[in-house]
Amino acid sequence: MTTESQHYTATAKWLHWIIAVLIIFLLILGFYMSGLPRGPDKTALVQLHKSVGIIVLTLATVRVGWRLRHKPPALPASMSWFLKKATHSIHWTLYLLMFLQPLSGWVMSSARGFPVSIAGIIPLPSLVEKDEALAEILKERHEFLGWALVLLIIGHVVAALKHHFVDKDDVLLRMAIRPNKHDT
């Protein structure tokens, strides 16, 4: 681990924001696709959704590896022990969902008998045999995890804004992408 800093590393910041944008895109796309009739347009969007989901899974793996090797800035001393524990729990739950959500989609696709690939170029292995009953269960789980992500993201954003506008601390700014001497 590196020495403690008041800012996240540039790598951590870029991973955070790239993954955040991709997840928000996937959530919007997923909710939009669910209302479309079957057909070539929906199929193309599903393929895009799966490819970007695998990219998120890959970036989340890099992000967690980076996080384990680079200690994040300490939370403000003014935060209670309970809020610090809650904050850490929410962050690790977000990390967990960054894995569970794309994995549930990958397994669901496998159970439906549909291949998963990155951009239609790099094929990925099927994780389970074709099983429509399992696919239906996984579809429900995938949707549930999507809503869980929505709620956690909203809570995460509200908490960051509270830190910035109410508490007037630097919690939000520590994750801002801006040139400074602390970024490495």
- Residue 154 included in any domain: yes
At residue 56, the pLDDT reads 97
Backbone angles phi, psi at 117, to 5 degrees: -145, 165
- Residue 80 included in any domain: yes
Q: Using alpha carbons only, how large is the chain's radius of gyration in Å?
A: 18
- Residue 47 included in any domain: yes
Instruction: Determine the Cα–Cα distance for residues 69 and 153; give it in Å rounded to an integer.
Output: 24
- For position 164, which CATH number holds? 1.20.950.20
- Looking at the 3D structure of the chain, how many domains does it have? 1
At residue 132, the pLDDT reads 97
Nearest partner of 167 among 74, 72, 78, 75, judged by Cα: 78
Residue 145: domain span: 10-175
Instruction: Determine the Cα–Cα distance for residues 133 and 156; give it in Å rounded to an integer.
Output: 35
Name the burial class of residue 101, with classes exposed (0-12), middle (13-18) and buried (19+) by CB atoms within 10 angstroms of its CB.
buried
Backbone angles phi, psi at 91, to 5 degrees: -60, -45
At residue 119, the pLDDT reads 85
- Residue 1 included in any domain: no
For helices 10-33 and 132-162, the axis angle rounded to 10 degrees is: 130
Q: Are strands 116-118 and 122-124 parallel, antiparallel or unpaired?
A: antiparallel
For residue 67 the two structure tokens come to 């996080």
- Residue 156 included in any domain: yes
- pLDDT tens for the chain, 184 residues: list them: 344 568 899 999 999 999 999 999 999 999 999 999 999 999 999 999 999 999 999 999 999 999 999 999 999 998 999 999 999 999 999 999 999 999 999 999 999 999 999 888 999 999 999 999 999 999 999 999 999 999 999 999 999 999 999 988 888 889 998 765 555 5
Partners of 117 in beta bridges: 123
At residue 179, the pLDDT reads 63
Which positions ≥6 away from 46 have C-beta within 8 Å? Answer: 33
For residue 110 the two structure tokens come to 């496998």
For residue 104 the two structure tokens come to 């549930």
At residue 59, the pLDDT reads 98
- Residue 3 included in any domain: no
